Structure 1
Amino acid sequence: MTTVEDPRVGRSRALILDAARKVFLAEGFHDATLERVAAEAGLAKRTIYNLYIDKTTLFRETVLSAIAIAASFTQTLTSEFRAEKNAPLNLSDVAVRLAEATLLGPAIALRRLVIMESVRFPDLVDRYRAGAPEAVMTALSDAFARMTEDGHLRPCDPQVAAEHFAFLIMGADLDRGTFTGERALAARVRERALLGANAFLRAYAPDVRDGA
């Protein structure tokens, strides 16, 4: 029998995890304190202890919750790729959605947090990579392989094509955000994603001579 969590507990968890992400990112695991998290969340420290055993547990849950958000988007995107197996993807739409989810959502903060504590929590690095960026690249690669077989893209290595696509639509802003925490403006993210998708399509357009 599944136990339904009290909505008040759920709200407290959400406040704590959001506050913990901010505090851990700003101060690192070593210097962050549960007192600081409690103050950021506007809750009593005892509330945190009631839900999480210690700082290590809270850190893990903070990262895992963010990974779950990223993985959920990836699963949705992958399902859509597979559902459109008989038609070419609208790459401009895919580019905008992927860039916005990555650059305007919690992904950059999560990357910075995981990298910051990668020595202490190497397993979280592996889980993040598998659940988010590598899953996206695999989904793109599979889609490009299908589009190549159907003649919508020129013959190519689909994995390399996926890497080109990802960097063209958001690579520079993702690097900048990872190193500095700077968040690109929404209008810029959309514009660069569309320009990147257009550049990709020009580079990978099928050669009309192949069909002559």
Structure 2
Amino acid sequence: MPNKLLPPSGPGRPKDLVKRQAILDAAKNLFISNGYDGSSMDAIAAEAGVSKLTVYSHFTDKETLFCAAVKSKCEEQLPELFFELAADAPIENVLLTIGRSFNALINSRESVELHRLMVTQATQNPKLSQLFYEAGPQRLLNEMARLLSRAELTGKLRIDDPHCAADQFFSLVKGGANFCLLIGCGEPLQGAAAEQHVQNAVTMFLRAYRPNQAAR
């Protein structure tokens, strides 16, 4: 529903940050419901309850706003904090946390609709597809590769190519179930089924990259 009334800023919550978040929320809703071409900056401003000038003061154009909306959605589910690796943190627990959050992200309504939107845009606007990839999937791959590099340096894992391993990890979590969901012939994994799926993916990943396994 339109967000006509902005919440009070409150202590430690500057008004401009509240407006920025309102714009991002409005953009995510409209891009998903109306598509990229069908979502004007005027409509996003009206949905957010701000002026168009305010929208442009935060985001210089619609492409910039689209990228920010994609990044915001990813960061909601997978904040950068998840990709930190404390010295005493069991690598399995870290991978499970990331796997659960990534699984929830790719199975969310917003993510599914956004991916379907990008498929329709693939031949019409390849530049937009590239922007989407860089703001979303590429960011997560880079964060995961950095995490795996640290795990390799600290001896928690043995990995020759962290970027390849990061891609393999996310591919394991996505699996066939997410593809079925995207094309409309399956339901999102939830509850115990989702947990078992993530645990299986992490177990398989660790079998490949634990130091003791790699040494065999």
TM bucket (normalised to shorter chain) is 0.5 to 0.7
Is residue 106 of structure 2 the alignment partner of residue 141 of structure 1? no
The count of aligned residue pairs is 189
Question: C-alpha separation between the residues in 1 aligned to 2:27 and 2:161?
Answer: 44
SS, match of residue 151 in structure 1: coil
Question: C-alpha separation between the residues in 2 aligned to 1:118 and 1:209?
Answer: 39
Which of 64, 70, 78 aligns to 1:67? It is: 70
Cross-structure match for 1:197: 202
SS, match of residue 160 in structure 1: helix
CA gap 1:62/1:68 in 2 versus in 1, 3 angstroms = same
CA gap 1:120/1:80 in 2 versus in 1, 3 angstroms = same
CA gap 1:12/1:134 in 2 versus in 1, 3 angstroms = closer
Is residue 167 of structure 2 the alignment partner of residue 163 of structure 1? yes
CA gap 1:125/1:191 in 2 versus in 1, 3 angstroms = same
TM-aligned CA deviation for residue 88 of structure 1: 4.5
Question: C-alpha separation between the residues in 2 aligned to 1:33 and 1:190?
Answer: 36
Question: C-alpha separation between the residues in 2 aligned to 1:184 and 1:94?
Answer: 18
Which of 61, 82, 85 aligns to 2:84? It is: 82
The farther-off stretch of 194-203 and 154-163 is 154-163
Question: C-alpha separation between the residues in 1 aligned to 2:167 and 2:27?
Answer: 36
User: Which residue identity is paired with 1:18?
Assistant: N
Q: Which has the higher helix share?
A: 1
Structure ID, larger Rg = 1
Which of 108, 113, 119 aligns to 1:109? It is: 113
Instruction: Check whether the contact 2:157–2:210 (CA below 8 A) recurs between aligned residues.
Output: yes
Higher relative contact order (CA closer than 8 Å, sequence separation 6+): 1
Which of 125, 128, 132 aligns to 2:129? It is: 125
RMSD: 4.1
TM-aligned CA deviation for residue 129 of structure 1: 0.6
User: Which residue identity is paired with 2:143?
Assistant: A
Instruction: Check whether the contact 1:141–1:162 (CA below 8 A) recurs between aligned residues.
Output: yes
SS, match of residue 141 in structure 1: helix
TM-aligned CA deviation for residue 162 of structure 1: 1.0
